[in-house]
Amino acid sequence: MYFELTDEQKMIEKMIKEFSDEVVAPGAYERDKTKEFPLEIFKELAAMGMMGLPFSEEYGGGNADTISFAIVTEHLSRACASTGITYSAHISLGGAPLHLFGTEVQKQKYLVPICTGESFGAFGLTEPNAGSDAGGTETKAELQNGQFTINGAKVFITNASYAKHLALTAITDIVDGKKEISAIIVPTDAKGFTIKADYEKMGLNASNTTELILDNVEVPEENLLGTRGNGFKQFLTTLDGGRIGIAAMAVGIAQAAFDKSVKYAKERKQFGKALADFQATQFKLADMAVKIEIARNMVYKAAWLKDAGKPFGKESAMAKYYASEMAMEVCDEAIQIHGGYGYMREFEVERYLRDAKLLEIGEGTSEIQKMVIARYILNS
C-alpha cells in the first residue's frame, strides 16, 4: 500500500488543520459548557466546500475521497469533538444514503441542500426499543393511495434540529411473519413531526442529539429511498461507511489528548525534573503514540478500500472498534499524566474522555463490532 497522501489530500489536510486550530478549537471549551451548537463554524465549512466533500460535483459536492473525509473528521474532532460528530453524521449518515440509494430526482431535491450546507444531514434509525437490535424497529409506515402514513419514535438522532429532511427506517409490511423494513425520506417540517432536543449528555455537549416523534406523518410514496424492503440492508451499508467517520473521530480526540499530555509533561516539574524526564511518563507517551498511529492506519486502510470499490465492512468495523477503545485508553492516560489537574475542566483532557465514550456506543457498540468482525471471519 502506498502511504503518502495525494496532493489534493495534503491540501485538504493543511486547510482543515489551520481552520480547526484557528476557528474551531478556541471556542470548544466554552461550547462544552454552554451547549451552543457551532452553527457559524458550519457556515464557514460550507463556504469552504466541505459540507458535501465526498459527493459528486453534480450535486454540489467536492468529489473528494473517503480518506479526505476521514482527515477532515479527524482534525475537526481533535479541535472539538462536538463539531467532529456533527460533520461525520452530516456526511456519512445524512448524505451517504441519499447518494447511494436515491433516485436522480431525490438527489437533486435532498442531497444538493446537504452538500451546499443549506440543510444538515441526519438519519433516523435508533428507537426506544431498537438500539443494537436495529431489527427491533417498531415505527410503522402504512401505504394507502400513494401516501405513507408514519407513526413511531426515534431516539439519539444527530443533527435533526438543523435538518430540513432526513431518511428514517420504518416497517412497511409483514411478510411471512417477518418485518419488511424500508427507508423513507421525511421533511422535518411535515405535519405531525416533532423534534425534541432536551437530552442531558455526558459529553459532546455542543452537538445536536434529538428525539423524533411521528404522529400520522404523511409523505408521498415517491419519498421511498431505494427499494422497498431493503431498508435494513441499506442502513447496514450506511453504517459501514459511518464507522470510518467514528474511527476518525476517535483518532482526532486521542491526538488532542496526546498533544496536551506531551506539552504538560515538558512543562510540569516534579522532584526537580520535568515529568517528561521520568521513564514512567515516557513509556505512557510512547504507548499512546503507538496506539494512535495504529488506529489512524486502520482508518486509512478502511477508507482506501472503500474508495477502491473493494469490500471494507470488516475493516471499518475493526477500525471503529479499535480506535474507539484506543481513544478511551489514551484519554484516561492523559488525565493520569496531568494528575489532579487532569480532573479539572480547564485543562480539557477530562472533556476528551467524556466525548470519547460515545464512540464505543454510537454506530454499533464495541460488542456489536466484535460480532460483525467475527461474522466476517467465520463466513470467509
129 Cβ partners below 8 Å, 6+ apart?
A: 136, 138
* Calpha distance 110→186 (Å, rounded): 10
The set of cell numbers assigned to 174 is: 409483514
* Calpha distance 246→372 (Å, rounded): 16
* Calpha distance 285→268 (Å, rounded): 15
The DSSP line for 171-232 is EEEEETTEEEEEEEEEETTSTTEEEE-----SS-TTS-EEEEEEEEEEEEGGGEESSTT-HH
* Calpha distance 205→30 (Å, rounded): 10
Under a CB-based contact definition with an 8 Å cutoff, are residues 375 and 364 in contact? no
Active site residue 363: yes
**Phi, psi torsion values for 262, nearest 5 degrees:** -60, -45
* Calpha distance 83→90 (Å, rounded): 11
Residue 186, strand partner residues: 166
User: Which one of the listed residues 127, 315, 325, 363 is annotated catalytic?
Assistant: 363
| Single-letter amino acid code for the residue at 320 | K
* Calpha distance 85→180 (Å, rounded): 30
Q: Which of 170, 352, 128 is nearest to 255 (CA)?
A: 352
Residues serving a catalytic function are: 363
